[in-house]
Chains A and B, each alone.
Chain A
Amino acid sequence: MKVTEALEIFSQTHPGMVRSHNEDSVACEPAYGLAVLADGMGGYNAGEVASGIAVSVVVTEVSHSLQNASPIDRDETSDEELGVMLLRNNIQKANASIFHAAESQPQYSGMGTTIVSGLFYDNRVVVGHVGDSRMYRLRGEVLETVTRDHSLLQEQIDGGIISVEDARLSKNKNLVTRAVGIDAQVVPEIHVLDVLVGDVYLLCSDGLNDMVEDEDIQSTLYALQNNLPLAASQLIQMANDNGGRDNISVILVKVKGGFSVPRGWLAKSFAWFKR
């Protein structure tokens, strides 16, 4: 099955109940199984600019590169898969674009953004993220976080300084330890996961997971997995019902079928000769 047919993708974004404008950006490219979400920060409209640049650079560049290449191709020097490389390199490219825009235009000084992105191919997903925007996975009845926040709180949890329970009471939320566009370089965290038919992936900004308990995210995704638009609006509605203090963005990706990349005898023997 082609990735376009195998995946159902739906995205929605909302400014929330407090903020006057939306600094989140979302974009999807179903033809290449790509979903990108960014949560911008910075004064005036700089946050929107930063998240907008991040999302458009990653979506445009990855799509462009995949027009004439397969994501399972391997790089000759690094032996890394093209899909993995594209996601990492283009998050870094977005970083450079934002950093330079911020340097050259005083009104954008210091702007930055988080990013979480998923590139689905060959029954896998490559996940690239920076900051505290998250990817979750619902498999069966179990909801798991796929990404780990780059935040002070997460580091404190990892260091055993604060328990997960206590972390909910912390006043040190919203402090990210890594962001796109703040420094000349950034190290995106990249993971590759196997995908199963029936999985539902959720990419979201912290406006969702700060306002809605994981338990409620789980029950919503589980109950409404056959109706992604309703699931998305239900998640946003719950965040808003709980105060909606930040912008809320969600991208839902449902895996309806397998989408392995066909490997013909020609491709196989070609790969064999290259070894």
Chain B
Amino acid sequence: MIQVLPLNSATEEKNISFSLGELVAGLRELLPDDGVLLEEEDTRPYECDGLSAYRQLPMIVVLPSTVEQVQEVMQLCHKLGVPVVARGSGTGLSGGALPHPQGVVLSLAKLKNILEIDPAARTARVEPGVRNLAVSEAAAQYGLYYAPDPSSQIACTIGGNIAENSGGVHCLKYGLTVHNVLKLKVITQQGDMITIGSDALYSPGYDLLALMIGSEGMLGVVVEVTVNLLPIPETTGVLLAAFDDVEKAGIAVGEIIAAGIIPAGLEMMDGFAIQAAEEFVQAGYPIDAAAILLCEVDGTRQEVEEQIRLVREELLACGATEVRQAEDELQRQLFWKGRKSAFPAVGRLSPDYYCMDGTIPRHRLPEVLKGIAEMADEYGLRVANVFHAGDGNMHPLILYDANKPGELEKTEELGGRILELCVEVGGTITGEHGVGIEKINQMCVQFSPAELAQFRAVKAAFDPDGLLNPGKGVPTPRRCSEYRTLHKGHD
């Protein structure tokens, strides 16, 4: 059977040894008293991120408030050989910010200044602890916004977005974090500051921006980010379509795209998720539908009118039982509110829920949903499906009760098998939440030993001592061989 291996067997293969006294004394010299947390009551809040099933009390938490302090902390940790786990606001869903038992948690929460908004260049230069939504709020006065909008955008930080290459509901048209960042200032594991990218659209050398974004805090610590801003679209239109069959909804997605339309947002919810959301926020969703699609288009008034007309035609041609257009901004917000609160809404129906994050080629959706339903039955667990239909990113929500002995383990096992199904149909184990500690076993399924070895070599190029976020993202050969052995037992 499949087992989730505890973090300890994520096996840093080298021994970590340093003098705790020397580290604490050094940190106290660099930071004010309230910048170094040692007592359990202070460090306890940092024991997990958004994936609270994994917890580890940190040894030390540091809260630098300047870039110089970050750099000095990194230099000290490099000198002493101390593992460092960088952390934003801790909303990550893959345990990427799970502390290291013998390491320092480097919180970037105090670096929260918006340094500059340049409306002419349409850029914002911000510190990593700035919240995602705060960038768009600050840019709004210039008619601009920052496009990536992960559902945690009220709380999550830009630094965390860089680490995870965060997406959101508008990715198909506006891209991920990697498509919206111009420049980074990064402190390396050795404590050097490097600038990656530039304010121009082309920079010489390797595309280290692409490498750094989504590297889950394992290659460097981002201390400044320049993002691209976009003009706020002139207008936005939203259609809600109901279907009596999930497969028809899936076909409609393909037909909209085949008609030459790239919706700003295209979301699908299954019957279970619809009912939960409707009970929670009364968005006016048709509760008897097997699936709904929310399709948002944006642009100039003329463009939106034209696209709404085309999308409506496609939806009806694909057998939508009902197509509604949001009549005003209030109704548009309400349509979205149902989708955006789908997670907590489903959460209300169960003591706990577990959010998965696989991506699949969209045309494989019906069989994947069927496979998920069959496996869920096998495990006696309920699963609600929320799907970024435009880009193929699925978020199955597994409902469970952590207080029932063995149920979390069962849930994680089901989750792992769902991800492996995603890989089997040509997809990936993570669309936007990252590997972290959560999906580290499934990395052994998605990648060959040679590919994983290549990842480790890239990691070593930046962090030869393996001290930045150790044990995350890329599994050790030993973990993979252990996992493959267990996996074989299951088959």
Q: Do A and B come from one complex?
A: no
B residues contacting A by CB (< 8 A) are none
A residues contacting B by CB (< 8 A) are none
